Copies of this chain bind each other. A is one copy, B any other.
Amino acid sequence: MKMRFFWLLSTIIIVISAIAAQAAGPLPAWNDTMSKRAIIAFVEKVTIPGSPDYVPPAERIAVFDNDGTLWSEQPLYFQFYFAIDRVKELSANHPEWKTQHPFQAVLEGDMKALATSGKKGLVELIMATHAGMTTDEFAGIVSDWVQTARHPALNRPYTSLVFQPMLELLDYLRAKFFKTYIVSGGGIEFMRPWTEAVYGIPPEQVVGSSIVTKFEMRDGKPVLVREPKVHFIDDKEGKPVGINQHIGRRPILAFGNSDGDLQMLQWTMAGQGTRLALLVHHTDGKREWAYDRESHIGRLDKALDEARAKGWTVVDMKNDWKQIYPGK
């Protein structure tokens, strides 16, 4: 009896939600331009039973880059701010960092000096701040940071700098029984502690870069220890590899914003049947940032050419998005 009541209640809720969603129309933060129309046309084609392009729910895999696609990435990737904040916090136990690059540059806020330390310096920073603890400890550190840290230029929590139109798109796709994944160059363990609350994407649907972890017994308790060694870089050619490794199915929709996403879009579009490739083009210097071919962060150059040549959907942030961030 209880069981049947539970099911009845669930159904009423589902039916009401579906009707409410239909009444408002999907994607309210999107202007009624080509981009929005392309998305809705695609979703309808693959979800309406009997359509020649119909795709069964199990194969409705949609993959999203994170930095610059689901949230902002300027003037530095937000995970880099996390590393900077960690260096400051850990510096009390590392007096040697005061005179040791790249840590000195971070502590003195000298971004020019930091830039000269290049990729080697970046890896050193990442390892000093992301390794040497258990996976549980690191998840706790990230959760604390995400709840308290603020973007230095905008003085807002980082999780408020997610794109409202993309939150709506994720919801819309899930309502149509798509499975939504993040496939990001960012750290998989840096994202997982907050992606479910912020994007509705659970940890098992997050693909990202990772360092080596090692199983160990500590005081009779098993732990996974994060080691200062790269395991996988989920960027460029790595993205299709990461998708195959984690998902094992080819997506039918892929959304990125930079050359780092090009191979993911190529891989998605090379499958059979109707597919959709999209790029966010950051064109809004007033409400967000405007950058593409010359940017050091999120460079969009080759992928923009290929998108135009192949008719992929290029979302023009300035013209296609009514609203950028939630609540404003």
Contact = CB atoms under 8 A, between A and B. Distances in A.
A92 interface: no
Interface string A225-267: 0000000000001101100111111000000000000010011
A222 interface: yes
A221 B238 CA distance: 16
A224 interface: yes
A235 to B, nearest CB: 11
Consensus secondary structure, chain A interface: helix
B213 A241 contact: yes
A19 B244 CA distance: 38
A252 to B, nearest CB: 14
A247 B204 contact: yes
Nearest to A139: B248
Nearest to A202: B58
Given A202-B58, A237-B214, A241-B215, A248 B7 contact: no
Interface string A95-137: 0000000000000000000000000000000000000000100
A4 interface: yes
Interface in A1-45: 3-4, 7-8, 11, 14-15, 18-19, 22
Most chain B CB atoms below 10 A, which of A19, A135, A203, A245: A245
A281 interface: no
A159 interface: no
Given A222-B263, A224-B241, 7 more contacts: A4-B19, A203-B247, A204-B246, A204-B247, A215-B241, A224-B240, A224-B244
